Structure 1
């Protein structure tokens, strides 16, 4: 048994979760590699290793397979190769990259995922060499802004270029950016769109409506200092149906399920949805409690 299976099982037992979705943490900045082919080679090798050594050994362990986004043709090939593999419940794009996600080269990728009913996740990270963030001189500041900035840029382009209109059944997930930035972006885009709607002609609704109805978000790291602000945030994103619990284990700031269960303003059903039922619906998983191995 591979040690990663043993460690993941221990974490699942300690956290009290039925499924664990794995992400390629060491590869979250691979999209900035100066050689695009390296993202292709390493991403494909990781997917094959993870499926062969981990996912096929325990059906409670899942993944969003690495998508080599800098080479659209290889992203298509990756979907064709891995979409039906055991444990693959969607695909992941590390968000630290400079390719515009609304480029026409990606339309076939989105179409293939929509046809297969597989979500695409944009997983945030930070990169100190990003020119827009390079003046920050504390890790605290980089961690606070870097994980938000990349997804904020991509989601803005995602909505304003009408991707949810072109692919209304495509499920997008915005991972590990927290939640406090989402109401800001909703209000900012709505305000600007109402003054310049001709620049987003594909839109039939306000940007915030697409962000609330067509996008999913993950809890970690959920900002809880101001509970009134958090309550409004969860209301604005329609958390009862669009929010997914994420632990971010084993990082220093990981969360336990009680982060959701202890929120006083959520109904019992909302808590159940966020802690598991939303994910079961999104990833087509059996919500029946699983027996630990």
Structure 2
């Protein structure tokens, strides 16, 4: 750690590792034969969803392995047992201790097992998402709701939109601060008419809506022919948040719903300046025949309706002169291996070299307070 008093930080993208028996305990009886669970084998512990055709996923890849150096060598997992996870991944008391060690005052908490959004049976998916939300808020975030800010997962897919609307209303009434949608639903763009009732309700509720990379499936990057398929998919997942932005803007969603607030979660920020410049250029040259007709440049929608998060993006920081810093937010991505723990302070110092102190405070602290309405004092007066 750095010496002296740590910089106050708010992480807008952190995760849990769900308990082994979360769905076994909370799913209705009729879904028990398909309940997601952890199974132990001689090769390690795996999350499995029985009777669905989904491939097992190693538990250890969900996190809590510690970085040895910033931007350098990473300690690989020594085992894939659930018990190898850092306790703060699933124990809220241990999580707060780890927050304190990093100067982190609060975290927005997303699922660890994001592929719950990929469950093919829609009714099962709805039941699993509801069970996850109940556990997250009743057993994890309730320990300290001012510092553990749960993102309510909304069940969407090739099925009716009503379950997502019902879940959004249910948790808005219970004081939730933000929602989670997958980055993609195969075969369904976010500008499709199918989603219009959901956008109308979410605009009415008024809470920000995050799209998290790697949540759901991204067919355009599901490349089975390229060597290193995991890496091409991992990079593609991040890049595709720019695709989410295009689907929403070119689908005229923020045009029709000007009060919606969207967050592009864990995709970094280095791509934003280039993409906005390119989209604005095309708008200027071709707007007379674009369908649907847009009233503003794409960058105007970004600067009104969108936020983006990053955990390690020095190149993106160097594009700040071309961006509105109020649209950017820092994240620790605890407990994942690509996150900053236990070097959050050092990573921030590295990424923000030469940046004005008020801008650092906005991106690492104040913007999150303003967007989520957190009970934490701002560092800089608004």
TM-score by length of 2: 0.67
- Aligned pair in 2 of structure 1 residues 216, 286: CA closer, same or farther (>3 Å)? same
Residue 375 (structure 2) aligns with: 286
> Is 2:113 the partner of 1:23?
no
Residue 259 (structure 1) aligns with: 347
Asked if 1 retains the 8 angstrom alpha-carbon contact of 2:129 and 2:155, the reply is yes
> How far apart in 1 are the matches of 2:328 and 2:258?
18
Asked if 1 retains the 8 angstrom alpha-carbon contact of 2:190 and 2:251, the reply is no
Report the secondary structure of 2:353's partner residue: coil
> How far apart in 1 are the matches of 2:193 and 2:215?
26
Residue 94 (structure 1) aligns with: 182
> RMSD over aligned Cα, in angstroms?
2.3
> Is 2:193 the partner of 1:104?
yes
Report the secondary structure of 1:247's partner residue: coil
1:1-293 correspondence runs (5 A): 4-26=91-113, 28-59=114-145, 60-70=147-157, 71-86=160-175, 88-98=176-186, 99-125=188-214, 130=219, 132-134=221-223, 135-138=225-228, 139-149=230-240, 151-197=241-287, 198-220=289-311, 222-224=312-314, 226=315, 230-232=317-319, 234-239=320-325, 241-255=326-340, 256-262=344-350, 263-288=352-377
Deviation, structure 1 residue 92 = 0.3
**For residues 209-235 of structure 1, what are the alpha-carbon distances to aligned partners after superposition, in whole Å with 9 as ceiling and x for unaligned?**
212332101122x332x5xx6322x23
> How far apart in 2 are the matches of 1:62 and 1:126?
19
Asked if 1 retains the 8 angstrom alpha-carbon contact of 2:329 and 2:364, the reply is yes
Asked if 2 retains the 8 angstrom alpha-carbon contact of 1:102 and 1:161, the reply is yes
Asked if 2 retains the 8 angstrom alpha-carbon contact of 1:64 and 1:91, the reply is yes
Q: Which has the higher strand share?
A: 2
> How far apart in 2 are the matches of 1:72 and 1:162?
19
Asked if 2 retains the 8 angstrom alpha-carbon contact of 1:96 and 1:126, the reply is yes
- Number of positions where the alignment pairs a residue of Structure 1 with one of Structure 2: 279
| Dislocated runs of 4+, deviation >6 Å | 126-129
Q: Which has the higher helix share?
A: 1
- Aligned pair in 2 of structure 1 residues 127, 243: CA closer, same or farther (>3 Å)? same
- Aligned pair in 2 of structure 1 residues 129, 144: CA closer, same or farther (>3 Å)? closer
Report the secondary structure of 1:153's partner residue: helix
Asked if 1 retains the 8 angstrom alpha-carbon contact of 2:184 and 2:217, the reply is no
> How far apart in 2 are the matches of 1:129 and 1:279?
28
Report the secondary structure of 1:95's partner residue: strand
Larger Rg: 2
Deviation, structure 1 residue 128 = 8.4
**For residues 129-153 of structure 1, what are the alpha-carbon distances to aligned partners after superposition, in whole Å with 9 as ceiling and x for unaligned?**
836431332233332222222x222
Deviation, structure 1 residue 32 = 3.0
Report the secondary structure of 2:191's partner residue: coil
Q: Unaligned 5+ residue runs, structure 2?
A: 1-87
- Aligned pair in 2 of structure 1 residues 131, 245: CA closer, same or farther (>3 Å)? closer
> How far apart in 2 are the matches of 1:117 and 1:130?
30
Deviation, structure 1 residue 106 = 1.9
Which moved further from structure 2: 190-199 or 72-81? 190-199
TM-score by length of 1: 0.86
Report the secondary structure of 1:25's partner residue: coil
Q: Unaligned 5+ residue runs, structure 1?
A: none
Report the secondary structure of 2:151's partner residue: strand
Asked if 2 retains the 8 angstrom alpha-carbon contact of 1:126 and 1:142, the reply is no
Asked if 2 retains the 8 angstrom alpha-carbon contact of 1:33 and 1:39, the reply is yes
